Amino acid sequence: MRNGRATRRPNRGAVAVEFALIFLLLVLLLLGAVEFGRAWYVVHMLSSAAREGARVGALLGGGEDREAAIRARIGEVLGPVGLTDVVVHIDLSDGYGRPLRVEIERDFRTVATGLLPELEHLRLRGSAVFNQESP
């Protein structure tokens, strides 16, 4: 009986070490999945805001305040979700049926920069192109 106990103790230590290694890998996998989900959400919101801004610009036609209206609509869409530090590029074109392009960019900030340094300099973009509907 004493020999049976002696052989079980080293196995318990091995199981604890194996669990610690597997647990660390599972935590890293979970963290990666959460970060990917956050990045997907930000891209979706940037695309949605670009689409809304381009829609507003396409409906306004060639007015002088069109760029301000586009930026205001983008702010209305992104403001409630906390995405206020974005770079907006607007390519205006005059004339009925001409394309209007809106592109929004933002740096992705990971929660765990130390564990996933490759994602620190990831630039996320959302863009939309609408044809101008008003002359």
Beta bridge partners of 100: 130
Contact between residue 46 and residue 125 where contact means Cβ atoms under 8 Å apart: yes
Asked if residue 63 is part of any domain, the answer here is: yes
Give the tokens for residue 110.
């990971």
Range of the domain at 70: 37-131
- pLDDT of 94 > 80? The answer is no
CA-nearest of 28, 34, 54 to 127 is 54
Asked if residue 31 is part of any domain, the answer here is: no
Asked if residue 8 is part of any domain, the answer here is: no
Asked if residue 61 is part of any domain, the answer here is: yes
Asked if residue 56 is part of any domain, the answer here is: yes
Q: Where are the beta strands (DSSP E) in 1-135?
A: 87-91, 99-107, 123-131
Domain count across the chain: 1
Backbone angles phi, psi at 128, to 5 degrees: -150, 145
Asked if residue 64 is part of any domain, the answer here is: yes
Q: How far apart are CA 115 and CA 119, in angstroms?
A: 10
Asked if residue 47 is part of any domain, the answer here is: yes
What would the pLDDT profile of 40-64 be if each residue is shown by its tens digit? 999 999 999 999 999 998 888 766 7
Q: How far apart are CA 100 and CA 129, in angstroms?
A: 5
- pLDDT of res. 84: 84
**Gyration radius of the chain over CA positions:** 25
Q: CB under 8 Å to 72, separation ≥6 — which residues?
A: none
- pLDDT of res. 6: 52
Asked if residue 16 is part of any domain, the answer here is: no
